[in-house]
A and B are shown apart, each in its own frame.
Chain A
Amino acid sequence: MGQVIESGFMSTGMTAKMAASPTAVVLIGLGALFTGLGWYDRLVKLGGMGGSLPITGFANAMVAPAMEFKTEGLVMGIGAHLFSVAGPVLVWGMSAAFVVGALRYLLTGVA
C-alpha cells in the first residue's frame, strides 16, 4: 500500500528518495485517522505486528494514548501522552542512529 502511494508521488517526477518522506506523511495521517475512528485496534487484533510495525502503527501508538488521556487536559493529558508509547521509539531510534552514524564516521571517516 505504501508502495502505491510512493509510486504516485514518484510519477509526479520525484525520485524514490524524495518520495519516501511524503509517503510517510500520508501513511501517518491515515494511521492517525483510523485510530481516531476506532478501526486500528481491530486491524492489529487481526494482523498483529502486520499492523503495528509499519509507520501507521507508529501513528496509532501516538494517537491512542493521547485520546485516552484527553480528560486530563490539553497539556498533561494529550500533550504528554502523545509520546507515552512513541517516545521510547524516538529516544532509542535517535540514539541508535547517532551511535551507528558516529561509529561509521570514526571507522571510515566519511560516514
Chain B
Amino acid sequence: MEKIKVAILGSGNIGTDLMYKLLKTEGSMELALMAGIDPESEGLKRANELQIPITAEGIHGILEHDDIKIVFDATSAKAHITHALLLKEAGIVAIDLTPAAVGPYVVPAINLKDHLELDNVNMISCSGQATTPLVYAVNRVAPVKYSEIIATISSVSVGPGTRQNLDEFTLTTANACQEIGGAKSARAIPVINSAEPPIMMNNTVYAVLEENADEKAVIESIEQIVQEVQKYVPGYRLKRAPYIDIRHTPWGDLPTVIILNEVEGAGDFFPTYAGNLDIMTAAAVQVGEQFAAHILKKKGVIV
C-alpha cells in the first residue's frame, strides 16, 4: 500500500519519542528521515541504529529530499518561524510541536478535520492537548464563562525550552482554552513538582458556567471526549468523576465544573510519568496520520 513519506525535524527528546511512535504506527505514514543539527545527538544515533535515514543538516537536509510530504517540527519556536517559510515554499505540510503557532491550534479530538487542507498546524502545548478537550466538552453543553486549568508536571519532564520560556507555555495554553475550548476567558497555570519518584502529569480544569446546567449532560459530554482522546492517547483518563460545585467568583456564586485528569505515557522513549510529553507526540502522530490519509485520498488511493 502506498504510504506518505514523513520526516522528523529535531532529534531531541520529543523528536526521539515521536520516532518510536511513528515506527509502531500502522497507517498511512512512512518515517523516511530523521533530521537534527548535531550528528552526535542521541536521537540521530538511535535513528541510525534503527536504519532510518538521518541527516545532521536540519531543515536543509529535509529539503534535499523531494518526496517528503509531511514534517514534524520538534525544534524550537524561533527555529520554526524559519522552517515554516521554507516548508511552505517546498509544498510540505508542517506539524508544529513548538509554541510558534504559525498555523492554527489543532487538537485531534476537537478540530483536526477542519484543518486538513492547510499546510501548517500547531500542537499548542502538552497541557493544551490535555485540557482543551475538557473545556470544549463542557462548553458544548453548558457555556463556559471562565476556565482555569492547573497543569502539574514532574520537574524531570520539563525541558530547557519550557523552562526558559514559561510564559509561552502559560499564555499559549490559556489562548487555546479560549479559541478552541470555547471558554469566554481563560487562565492556565503550570506547576512543576520535583517529588521523587516523579509524579504523573495531572491536570485540573475549573470551568465556571454562565448558569445552572444539566449536570448529567455535562458529565456525559466529558466522558465522551475522554474516550475520543483515548483513541490516540491511551493513558489519558479522569482521576475521578467530574465534580460540580458552587464557587465564589468575581461574577457571583456560579456552578463550577471541576475535572481532575491524569495522563500516563505509553513509555515509548519517555518514562510513563511523563504523560505531558507523551500526549504531545501521540497527538502529533494522530494529526500526521489524518493528514497522510487525506493526501492519499486526494490522490485517489483508498485507505
Q: Do A and B bind each other?
A: no
Listed in ascending order, the chain B residues whose CB lies under 8 Å from chain A are none
Q: Residues on A close to B: CB < 8 A? A: none
